Structure 1
Amino acid sequence: MTFERLKQEFSSRKRGILEALASGTDASPKGSVDKQIIPIMELLNSHPGAVTTSSCSGRVSVFLEGRKQSSTTSVSRQEHETSVAAAGGKGGDGKWLFVTHDHLPDDILQESQDDATFLNTIFGGIPSEPAITRLLEDQSSETRYIHFKFEPMILHVLTETLEIANRLLTCAISSSFRESGIVSPLKNPVVAIRTTGLAFDAPVGIYDPERNVIQRFIEPPGLKLLARLTNGRFRENSKRIDSLYKNLSSALKAPETHLESKQTRAQRKKAEGMDKGREIAATRENRVETGDPLEDGISF
């Protein structure tokens, strides 16, 4: 695909993405863009060679795994994809019981606060009780776990050229989003800005579908401790987002160096070679005229 064709394709895709954003269309479960990440999105989308395609500023969630395929049950591929949980617990009626894209208020995390209200909030209204020994011992491949999770910021940016993508990647890594990378570098590259260093995923219970009850591994004080830890992760996540914004602001002001075509590169290399040859010839002529001893084969 030619460079001009790639530019046209990028412009078309960017126009469609920005029109969808302007209309308020958002495919995420939340249905809207996270407030904390809007400044970075506006900065990137104002650059002619970049546009954001998906984003999350970071979130805390309590997630119920989906149903797993029983070892005694055979299902078709289509049924497997729609009714059985994939790796990670998604699918098969897996769902968020609680999710927030901001830190939890400190007042609800105090030991003195009502445990029942706290548990009802994070477990999405499903009753919970301490796990009994029998259930813990009888876990199987069909057991559905409850996960307490923190996921840091993730951002995908479609770019017009590899030069712009590399510039964004440098900013991401220098802002401690160290697991960032570039996808499809030979087309319109996509920069995935992310880090796993702040993430954690702790199983905190199992789901009893017959009674619609969560059997807790961890009592309310321990769950509140996990919540306070996520608040610390949120603060560090916010610092990294601020650092990324500053680095991007500086980097996007620099002029872009467009990639050369093979023909242009060949012509440039040929011209540089000719210039170098003329320079060497001129040096030799100057040594002969001035009686340079090295030209006469004299060594010291």
Structure 2
Amino acid sequence: MMSLEDFTSQKIKILSGLDNSRKGSYDARIEGLVQFINDIQEYVTTSSCSGRLIMFCPNEGQGNVKKGCKWLYTSHDFVKYEALVSHLKPEDGDIVLKFEPLILHIRCYNMESAKAMLTSSLESGFKNSGFVIGKNGSLVLAVRSCLGLEVPLTKDGVQLVSEEYIKFLAEVANEKLAENFKRMDNFFALLKARFGSP
């Protein structure tokens, strides 16, 4: 079993690099939570996203291309449907609107610490949370929920939905984001109650 000293050494290396999320840095809304977790000796976060709404298409082309996807619009906050409509250009390809809730990867020192963090995530509403054991014995907890949403908007250059429906989707996504932030705040509160000041 890895010693706490070795874990701390690896933690320092992890924290000296970039956050492994696509953005490469913490969202402002999740920064306090991430810093709190990283101040606890037995944990280190490796990637995070507070939740986001994205419009993308699988076609490569202009814009921010990653893994064959072209990202047309991204927001980590509440959205107005007008912003979605303004970025919806059927000629860009097969466009999909997707809401992704919070995802937080936390490397844990041992099974006991992993279970404590998992309990807090489950109790705060992140029911899809779980951890995996890496080849080197590392324990990584993924904090996540099932609040996602994914809807195709265009196909073969044809818009499939009306502006009224896009307005409805924006409302649904905003409701999901509000619930996501509520759960995130509950998670933070539970961690403070459980771990106090690191």
More helix by share: 1
Unpaired segments ≥5 residues, structure 2: 61-65
Aligned to 2:154: 205
- Report 1:1-300 matches (<5 A): 2-4=1-3, 7-20=4-17, 25-66=18-59, 91=67, 93-105=68-80, 109=81, 118-121=84-87, 123=88, 127-128=89-90, 145-184=94-133, 187-196=137-146, 198-207=147-156, 214-253=157-196
Secondary structure at the counterpart of residue 99 of structure 2: strand
Cα pair 1:171 1:247 within 8 Å, conserved: yes
TM-score by length of structure 1 reads 0.58
Secondary structure at the counterpart of residue 145 of structure 1: coil
- Please identify runs of 4+ aligned residues in structure 1 that moved more than 4 A: none
Unpaired segments ≥5 residues, structure 1: 68-89, 110-114, 130-143, 208-213, 255-300
Structure of higher RCO (CA pairs closer than 8 Å, 6+ residues apart)? 2
Secondary structure at the counterpart of residue 95 of structure 2: strand
Q: Over the residues paired in the alignment, what is the CA RMSD in angstroms?
A: 2.5
Aligned to 1:135: none
Distance 1:35 1:232, change over 3 A: same
Q: Percent identity?
A: 33
Give the Cα–Cα distance (whole angstroms) in 1 for the partners of residues 84 and 104 of structure 2: 31
The one-letter amino acid of 1:217's match is L
Cα pair 1:45 1:51 within 8 Å, conserved: yes
Secondary structure at the counterpart of residue 103 of structure 1: coil
Give the Cα–Cα distance (whole angstroms) in 2 for the partners of residues 96 and 118 of structure 1: 12
- Which of the pair has more CA radius of gyration? 1
Deviation string 1:214-270 (CA, Å, 9 cap, x unpaired) is 42100211112111111111111110000000111122249xxxxxxxxxxxxxxxx
Deviation string 1:86-142 (CA, Å, 9 cap, x unpaired) is xxxx73x3221111111114xxx4xxxxx6x75233x3xxx338xxxxxxxxxxxxx
Give the Cα–Cα distance (whole angstroms) in 2 for the partners of residues 118 and 192 of structure 1: 29
TM-score by length of structure 2 reads 0.86
Residue 200 (structure 1) shift: 1.0
More strand by share: 2
Cα pair 1:162 1:188 within 8 Å, conserved: no
Cα pair 2:20 2:47 within 8 Å, conserved: no
Give the Cα–Cα distance (whole angstroms) in 1 for the partners of residues 110 and 59 of structure 2: 40
Residue 147 (structure 1) shift: 1.1
